[in-house]
Structure 1
């Protein structure tokens, strides 16, 4: 019999041996940067040996049979190398399984259960391939070792599943489709030098200080050895370009393979991507997040390449979200894990590092430490309000150390605002003060208060922003806001916190409801952003809201608010280095076990004792954005109406859902049920909902918050 791995609709057949060898060679190359090439090669050879069974060969040739071809390779590797490689092969289609217990039976989906399962005879594999125990470099164990080993298994899994996808893709398309570009640091540093060349003849103290920071980043990129860094640059210091300068020079000096930017919010990722495309060229930059469209039928070569590269991050510069980055690191699914091996030997910039999610801070810190210690990545924590993470990193990896890139600078050069605390303001008092201003931004903590205050404003020149508006709607409103600010026209904006981190707007006055100190400082960054106005007249007013808006705050929001109030008693200037350090140190101390609310690190560390790792459980437990919201498509535009028609017709695809995300609002269950009870929703299936009563979506404030949905809905 000739054994085949795949068969196309036109009858072309891929020999099984070719697929095993092709996958093995690719996996070996992917694992080379972290010293596991030989082990990855054996994973590739073993992953599909179950396809040597008569049952599979009959099925691939058209018979209606059900057969499991993953378990055989897992059992062979378990006998040869132990359980760790077996996880990868057992999960290369369904996802990394939980380890389970020795008492598990062969019907349970754990690794222990799979290893007891009886496979269809596949002994013919020995006629074509042989398996031998490989030698490979062990990772440096951090902590109790369990987290390190589980991370290493997931990286090996990434090498295997990406290699499997790519080899299959090459056969199905009769050749390898155009994928990502290699990082050409010589070309890109030349482009950067051309872009920044006009900056060096700076005349103002502010621009001279920006050049000082930029020069330090260029020098540190060349001189510093790989590892963990901080880049602490005051708002307005040019950290976006400065961090890119460090990354390019560092990659050039140390042979790094790619550069990743991890950004917390989609509201700022687009402007960062636009800046990088302006500097480096569109073909060099992959923007990857939920709001990016990749046409399924894209014919233009660069865009077709990006669509494929989004699957495994095979591009020179990748700009993505913190949600995409960290949830992939803790996923067990092949489609999400494919990209992970491409993090090895990379430069990774974490922008706005103070926004790392508090309930998952320890798992995030541990994963960054693993990348820096065991996978050759240089990681940079970049922000104006540097979180006090040194003790957490020291506990995770005592020998790692953190180095600051930016030079000491005169912070007074960047002082652009004056803070003042007003005490408690009612909604009517707040609205009255806003109406007295020609141009003003007000940031509040709940979507309910944002709508309430907005409706008290003078209609002319007043705007509202919150996530009750679709992403495309918010972009339209921001465009209008920037135009009015630039023209000097009246412009009063009430927004939730979505506007405060990196959104490029410049107001003469800002009001900010009390929040965590980092949020207050970020809000101040929207005031006198360009430094064209006197500091003493560029006011940032902090105020306390009515207790009705804060009574139901979750701990994740209440604790930062309480710590900020405590710090303010001794440090009235929230943007002072002393206040920032005290705030984060106190916040992390008070949070304790809440820094890992689901005990993810502890559960993985326990695997060092049992060799049973809960990969599937962790994937379900690690969700930066909790899965208790429902997306509602708002058919307010022609495109949204077309999308709603396609969804009603059952035309489901990943691209369709991505496109509909730009025209949707995510709401909590009680809000969803209220809309459903009112007959305002059509629900074609469990994943889709369409607003049918468009009177509930206002062109100024977005989706109505019905009275029985309460408060406590944020962002």
Structure 2
């Protein structure tokens, strides 16, 4: 009987052991070859040996008779009776406590990469107790069968086990897992050609068309043109850069032009755009698809949208996005960083696409909480130093965190400014004159409840945005205004994605310069509106929380330098009433912001200087910059790192609000992920 690796499924025939092992070896080799131009030669040889040995032995235990009976259909079982990884682990380990190829075999299914020190100190390191007896008795027989099918015994090494970093383990496991999954599924995904130079030319045309359609000859548009040309023509030799241009100056397209130049100069594989919120991803994806997709190309095959709410035309486009195979991938900070921190094979599958890529962190100030920034910086700089990645960090509230001693300890890497000093100064001067930032001159009013806040708002005539700390506060104040006859809209993450999109569309309709909608209305929202949304209100109001949030909200006020908004202002306030609750997440940043306001520290400071100083003060608070995760990472404690590195640390529950889908779920009918 010809040994099998996978049983028949539907119209897919059974796959022989020889076919599968040969396929995984070949696909692993291709994954490594795709990374090879971005690796030092000695590391290529090291990885090639590890991956070949792991690929050749990863399914050795499937040759057990009990497993073959299930795979051939002679016996029925939900899973293979003998854990098939144990034989390969035993064979590769020999008398060593650990070696990378054995660890990859152990980890290529759940539970994934373990805490290696704990595993090494176990009675039987990296072994599977339920299969050990079978392995001890039958491993020589499995090796004989393998030799017959593959024309030779699987290879091992007597060399001393290599010491790899956690990132090396994760990326090598990604190569193996992707090869295994792809071969099992019947093929590999091939992404479209990068064509970076042509995409840059297409982006140039897109920007020129935008400028031709814009009749306003104001300073704002001149600065946007200056920023685009400066970024587009900047040198491409710096590996880590930052862009601190103010809100509303077209940073995303300008820095994308620079990243396309970098990708062309260094022959990069992909460009990643990492954003903090799903609410702004779809807008960014639409702009990029309009701007860089060439004639005759499928938009989803060029710019992939990867987050939990993304919709896809078909299953193939979903696979392209979730395996990071397209030339340009737009994803969330949660998805990106939790992949870097993960120990699970399914989540790590796509990670081998990262070496040799450009990574643009847009609105990076909001990407991570402070307590996760140290390990993230360590991984980012490793991607630069060892995996030939190029990084650009973008934010109107740029924090030069890399200058802090704790970050210098993890890596001495320094980010270089993308903008020349004079250009950055001109942009900052313009930004500070665009609207009146009341906090800059110690004006922070206090209100005793919704009635006082409403009375204060009545003094400002025009479109207003009010941002509150929590969903509950925003919902309460929206209801209060409605009950008192005010024209008000509500926007927060409490709304379904569909309802949020409808609300944003209505807000944009009302704010449009050509709209005849009455100017006297209010949007009550949460912090989800602070980044990336192209909105321009006359006045802005927000609960006092963080300096960064305050400055970012300023980007939604007089964004387009409207002449009739010359008295535009942004006011931070405090309010006391049971229905206005505070978000504890903002407690530390709020206290720092409040201290800086009333001590007069903002006088003469640029925005970048102010937010960097606020960051420095917040880092001094107890427990903010813990090295706990970095220490666990150095010790190869994969499970611990994955558990502790959680961008969203709160327990969340998925709620289905659509009554039709809810009824289908109640009745037990199948609901697809696309429907959800």
Structure 1 residues 11 and 149, CA gap change in structure 2 (3 angstroms) = closer
Whether the aligned pair in 2 keeps the contact of 1:7 and 1:14 (CA below 8 Å) is yes
Q: Which residue of 1 aligns with 2:89?
A: 74
**1:187 Cα deviation after fit:** 2.6
Deviation at 1:228, TM superposition (A): 1.5
Within a 5 Å distance, the mapping from 1:330-349 to structure 2 comes to: 330-349=341-360
Partner of 2:28: 27
Across the two proteins, how many residue pairs are aligned to each other?
A: 618
CA contact (8 A) 2:374 2:410 kept: no
Aligned counterpart, 2:637: 614
Please give the residue correspondences for 1:334-483 in structure 2 after superposition, counting only pairs within 5 Å.
Answer: 334-355=345-366, 356-390=368-402, 391=404, 392-398=406-412, 400-408=413-421, 409=423, 410=426, 411-414=428-431, 415-420=433-438, 421-426=443-448, 427-436=450-459, 437-457=461-481, 458-483=484-509
Structure 2 contact 268–356 (Cα < 8 Å) conserved: yes
Distance, in Å, in 2 between the alignment partners of 1:659 and 1:160 is: 32
Match of 2:266 among 251, 254, 261: 254
Instruction: Tell me if the contact between 2:28 and 2:175 (Cα under 8 Å) persists in the aligned partners.
Output: yes
1:560 to 589, 605, 610: 589
Partner of 1:711: none
Question: How far apart are residue 570 of structure 1 and its match?
Answer: 2.8
Partners of 1:313 and 1:339 within 8 A in 2: yes
2:171 counterpart of 1:159:
no
Aligned to 2:574: 544
* Structure 2 residue 44 is the aligned partner of structure 1 residue 18: no
Deviation at 1:193, TM superposition (A): 2.2
Relative distance call for 1:589 and 1:492 in structure 2 (3 A) is same
User: In 2, are the aligned partners of 1:508 and 1:533 still within 8 Å (CA)?
Assistant: no
Match of 1:633 among 656, 664, 667: 656
- The answer on whether the counterparts of 2:464 and 2:537 sit within 8 Å (CA) in structure 1 is yes
8 A Cα contact 2:244 2:608, kept in partner: no
Q: Distance in 2 between matches of 1:178 and 1:23?
A: 14
Name the structure 2 match of 1:193. 204
Cα distance in 1 for residues equivalent to 2:95 and 2:386: 25
Residue 594 of structure 2 corresponds to residue 529 of structure 1: no
Q: Which residue of 2 aligns with 1:682?
A: none
- Separation in structure 1 between the aligned mates of residue 130 and residue 372 of structure 2, nearest angstrom: 32
Deviation (angstroms), 1:179:
4.6
**C-alpha displacement at 1:68, in angstroms?**
1.0
Structure 2: how far apart are the matches of 1:243 and 1:522? 18
| SS of residue paired to 1:565 | helix
> SS of the counterpart of 1:291?
coil
Q: Which of 541-550 and 358-367 deviates more?
A: 541-550
Aligned equivalents of 1:42 and 1:472: distance in 2? 49
Q: Is the 8 A contact 1:24 1:45 kept in 2?
A: yes
Q: Quote how far apart the aligned CAs of 1:595 are.
A: 3.2
Q: Is the 8 A contact 2:462 2:538 kept in 1?
A: no
Matches within 5 A, 1:500-511: 500-511=530-541
SS at the partner of 1:628?
coil
Describe the shift of the 1:547–1:553 C-alpha distance in structure 2 as closer, same or farther (beyond 3 A): farther
Residue 239 of structure 2 corresponds to which residue in structure 1?
227
In the alignment, what sits opposite 1:96?
Answer: 113
**Higher mean Cα deviation, 451-460 or 57-66?**
451-460
Q: 1:112: Cα distance to partner?
A: 6.0
CA positional deviation for 1:102: 4.7
For residues 586 and 276 of structure 2, the distance between their equivalents in structure 1, rounded to whole angstroms, comes to 17
Cα distance in structure 2, aligned partners of 1:177 and 1:157:
17
Distance 1:317 1:102, change over 3 A: closer
CA distance 1:389–1:78, change in 2 (3 Å): farther
Aligned counterpart, 2:545: 515
- Between stretches 494-503 and 8-17, larger displacement belongs to 8-17
Tell whether 2:614 aligns with 1:590: no
Q: Give, in angstroms, the shift of residue 113 of structure 1.
A: 6.0
Partner of 1:210: 224
Query: 1:564 Cα shift?
Result: 1.1
Looking at structure 2, the residues matched to 80 and 263 of structure 1 have their Cα atoms a distance apart, in angstroms, of 46
- Please report how far the alpha carbon of residue 96 of structure 1 lies from its aligned counterpart in structure 2 after TM superposition: 2.2
Task: State which drifts further: 563-572 or 339-348.
Answer: 563-572
For residues 304-349 of structure 1, give each alpha carbon's deviation from its aligned partner in whole angstroms, at most 9, with x where no partner exists: 4321112311001111111111111112222211111111100011
Q: Aligned-pair distance for 1:87?
A: 2.1
Instruction: Answer whether contact 2:469 2:581 (CA < 8 A) is retained.
Output: no
**Contact kept in structure 2, 1:450 and 1:496, CA below 8 Å:** yes
> By how many angstroms is 1:393 displaced?
4.1
Matched residues in 2 for 1:11 and 1:596: separation? 51
Task: Please give the residue correspondences for 1:135-146 in structure 2 after superposition, counting only pairs within 5 Å.
Answer: none
Greater alpha carbon shift after TM alignment, 525-534 vs 500-509? 525-534
Of 631, 638, 642, the match for 1:602 = 631
Counterparts in 2 of 1:584 and 1:269: CA distance versus 1, 3 Å: same
Report whether the alignment pairs 1:39 with 2:50.
yes
Task: Give structure 1 stretches of 5+ with no counterpart.
Answer: 140-144, 171-175, 299-303, 608-612, 635-639, 661-715
**Partner Cα distance (1:364, 1:547) in 2:** 39
What's the CA shift string for 1:632-690, capped at 9, x where partnerless?
A: 221xxxxx23321331233456x43x643xxxxxxxxxxxxxxxxxxxxxxxxxxxxxx
Residues 239 and 384 in structure 2, CA contact (< 8 A), matched pair in contact too:
yes
Aligned-pair CA distance for 1:116: 9.3
Q: Distance in 1 between matches of 2:120 and 2:127?
A: 6
> Which shows bigger deviation, 66-75 or 625-634?
625-634
Q: Residue 552 and residue 433 in structure 1: after superposition, are their counterparts in 2 closer, same or farther (change >3 A)?
A: closer
SS state of the match for residue 130, structure 1?
coil
**What is the DSSP-based 3-state SS (H/G/I as helix, E as strand, rest coil) of the residue aligned with 1:455?**
helix
Q: Secondary structure in 2 aligned to 1:347? A: strand
Post-superposition offset of 1:200: 7.7
Partner of 2:191: helix, strand, or coil?
coil
CA distance in 2, matches of 1:130, 1:533: 78
Query: Which is worse superposed, 515-524 or 574-583?
Result: 574-583
Counterpart-to-counterpart distance in 2, 1:216 and 1:600 = 38
Q: How far off is 1:575 after superposition?
A: 6.2
Counterpart in the other structure of 2:310: 292
